Amino acid sequence: MSPVRRCSRTACGRPAVATLTYVYADSTAVLGPLATYAEPHCYDLCAEHSERLTAPRGWEVVRLAIDSGPARPSGDDLEALANAVREAGRPPERAPGPIATPGPVGPSAREANPMEVARRGHLRVLRSPDS
């Protein structure tokens, strides 16, 4: 099966760019950006079929903005990344009792990589080259 979703219209093999959903209670057809997952009661449409879409008499068509450009990281994505970096930069909390730490400990660890300030899992906090 192809990873690209295709238009739901019969005999149309073009890639889908929008998803059509019906709200029967409100007599409304909603055409919006391509849904993340293919839903059983939604229809994926190509650019041509989404532009030419009409609804039955008495129905309203609601067209949501369709972003045709590549997806860019949202503010939430960038904030989550910044929070992960801050968390990685915090010194580890000391728990009572001995803790086994992987890798070299003490002065030999700094000698191995003098730019490394802290480490948490596979993430490393490095000293700024200016300081």
Q: Sign of the C-alpha dihedral, residues 32, 28, 51, 63? A: negative
Indicate the pTM of the whole model. 0.50
Highest mean pLDDT among 79-88, 106-115, 122-131: 79-88
Cα–Cα distance for residue pair 12/46, rounded to 1 Å: 8
Residue 18's DSSP bridge partners are 33, 45
Residue 110 pLDDT greater than 50, yes or no: no
Q: Using one digit for the tens of pLDDT, what is the confidence trace for 62-98?
A: 998 876 555 555 667 777 777 777 777 777 776 565 5
Cα–Cα distance for residue pair 9/29, rounded to 1 Å: 16
pLDDT at res. 85: 77
Residue 106 pLDDT greater than 60, yes or no: no
